[in-house]
Amino acid sequence: MSIYTGDENVSFIPESPKRIPDCNYYRNLWWNKGEFNEQARWDEVTLPHVLATGVTPEDYEERVEKFNIRGCWEWSNSEVIIYEFPSKPHEVCLAKVVKVITGACRNADNTPAEILGFGATRTRDENRRKEADASFRPRKPAVTAPDGSDGISEPWPNLVVEVAYFETLGHVEETLKYWLDPDHAHDCIIVKIDPVPEGQMPARMRAWHYCKEDRRTRNTIPYRTSFEFGTQDGTGAPLNILQGQCIINISLRSLYHDLKPPTQIPLNLNDPIQLDFYFIQQAFILAYDN
């Protein structure tokens, strides 16, 4: 195994900060010890950033578990790549989106048809290892190995949520292809928050909803819903959204896709369930009301 140092032709495991520039030593601590150190000067890093090379899938998964890394690292072709950093905007948004989804499904709680949250459970296919920011599904039948989300027989989630703050929209599009592969998830919600200086409340926020039922070709799925739900749009003009204005609808047919029999889709849930992003915007206003 080797650690990436910024030169694609040179890599090694550092023994002390004296072996390589300080910032690279401290960046490597995230891979070596799970330490996200400020002395790494992460604000100067351009994403995506290769954190480590020559990594086996097993070693990647072991460290993700050991260091509780969620949604920041991905493994592809023996490289560990950073696409997102821990941040207040990312976590505030994700926590509220999860609350809105679980709230919309609460009438099925404590029944055989409960919608289960699988969070950032690791998934894999033959080329990649990835954790969603959040994921949901009901009970589903086992998948024929090795096509499961765990590389064996674990069912894939039906609804996946990805929140991008530092992450680029280009990578979000690649992520979407992974989740909506024909054998993977069913619906995907993408949220993109435009970065702002630390301490400021994000102003521009956008959301997209994709469903694989809308697939045109293997690699073409148009979004079903898209809107701006921040306090400003892309031109800087103020937005004053109202409750009920920015809605993502998830049909119960999608949410309960491949439901394990004999369980039935519950009759006490709205069809579709409605996810109102007005409340995500309001969560930001509260979180930054210092």
Tell me the pLDDT tens digit for each residue of 238-260: 999 999 999 999 999 999 999 99
Per the model's pLDDT, the better-predicted residue between 281 and 127 turns out to be: 281
Residue 124 pLDDT: 86
3-state secondary structure of 89: helix
Per the model's pLDDT, the better-predicted residue between 2 and 104 turns out to be: 104
Residue 213 pLDDT: 92
Provide the mean pLDDT of the chain. Answer: 88
Residue 140 pLDDT: 97
Residue 21 pLDDT: 57
The proportion of the chain whose per-residue pLDDT surpasses 70, expressed as a percent, equals 92
Residue 54 pLDDT: 94
pTM attached to this predicted model = 0.83
Residue ranges and CATH numbers for the domains of the chain are: 2-82 (no CATH), 88-287 (3.90.1570)
* Least confident window among 179-193, 217-231, 251-265: 217-231
Q: Say how many CA atoms lie within 13 Å of 195 toward its Cβ.
A: 13
Residue 174 pLDDT: 83
Dihedral (CA of 243, 248, 254, 260) sign: negative
Q: Read off the pLDDT of each residue in 183-212 and give the average, rounded to a whole number.
A: 95
Q: Which of 48-62, 71-85, 108-122 has the highest mean pLDDT?
A: 108-122
Residue for token pair 């910024």: 6
Residue 85 pLDDT: 86
> pLDDT tens-digit profile of 141-176?
999 999 999 999 999 999 999 999 988 888 888 888
Per the model's pLDDT, the better-predicted residue between 248 and 57 turns out to be: 248
Residue 171 pLDDT: 82
> pLDDT tens-digit profile of 2-50?
222 233 333 333 334 444 457 888 888 999 999 988 888 888 888 889 9
Per the model's pLDDT, the better-predicted residue between 98 and 126 turns out to be: 98
Using CA atoms, how far residue 58 sits from 63, 65, 75, 82, 127, in Å, is 9, 11, 10, 18, 13
Residue 96 to residue 112: CA distance in whole angstroms: 25
Per the model's pLDDT, the better-predicted residue between 130 and 17 turns out to be: 130
Residue 162 to residue 134: CA distance in whole angstroms: 7
